Amino acid sequence: MHAQELEKIITNLREMEGRFEKPPTDTAPHLNSVDRAAFKRLMLEAKGILDTVLGLNDFGAPLLLMTTLPGYGACNPPLLEQYHEAIGLVEGGLNQVHRKSSQVGKPRGAMSKPMYVDPARILQLRGSKSPQWDLKRLVRMLEELNSAHEHELHMATAMLVRAVTDHVPPIFNAKNFSEVANNYPAPRSFTDQMKQLDNSLRKIADMHLHQTVRKAEVLPLAPQVDFRGALDVLLSEVVRLLQ
């Protein structure tokens, strides 16, 4: 699905390439105002898809730069060569998505590891149009959480899940996550999941955050920091509240 969305963006960009206008003066060809707005939108959409699928990646920052060029009028970016660079960046990101999907070099029969946070949930949060809350930091934490999980960084995983729970209480009109777990008016099924995050997760995260050096250590494994179900319940309620 994500690869198809990127392919559609590339198709739209290539169609737009033929609409660069040559002004009557000696200034460089440029896009009209409608296409300039569409170009900026397509860059942001491509960046969002790549960040969701790949987590931290080499294409996100250059694509974002394409949306913050000095200007978008005649004699201003995107120049044609910058436009070609933008297409190349999206194509490179698409290739990386294909590589991730094909799992090159993976043993036959091996199962791909599911992400800690479902990419669809991250897309829902990124698409939120809440006038009150800016979710960029939350989305970034979730992307870093997926990256930590993929690379088996279990202590970082616990710390990031705790960071998420500490970040969202204002959306629930609460001062801290303990208030969300104990006072938020919701079915018991929701409350039980939040208490798991507030009690078990918090203690595990605190252990890894504050443990001083010892003569012997045993590092955590994935089951110790697996709070994916409870976290998704929390995030789904954030999505519902911001609709």
pLDDT digits (tens, 9 = 90+) for 137-162: 998 999 899 889 988 999 999 999 99
The conformational region for residue 97 under phi > 0 = left, psi -120 to 50 = alpha, else beta, is alpha
Q: Please list the ranges in the chain whose pLDDT falls under 50.
A: 72-75, 104, 108-111
Task: Return d(Cα 186, Cα 9) in angstroms, integer.
Answer: 41
Task: Return d(Cα 119, Cα 141) in angstroms, integer.
Answer: 13
Phi, psi torsion values for 86, nearest 5 degrees: -60, -45
What was the pLDDT predicted at 73? 47
Structure tokens at 85: 């660079």
What was the pLDDT predicted at 25? 64
Strand partners, 30: 21
What was the pLDDT predicted at 100? 77
Strand partners, 21: 30
What's the predicted TM-score (pTM) here?
Answer: 0.60
What was the pLDDT predicted at 75? 47
Task: Return d(Cα 31, Cα 132) in angstroms, integer.
Answer: 34
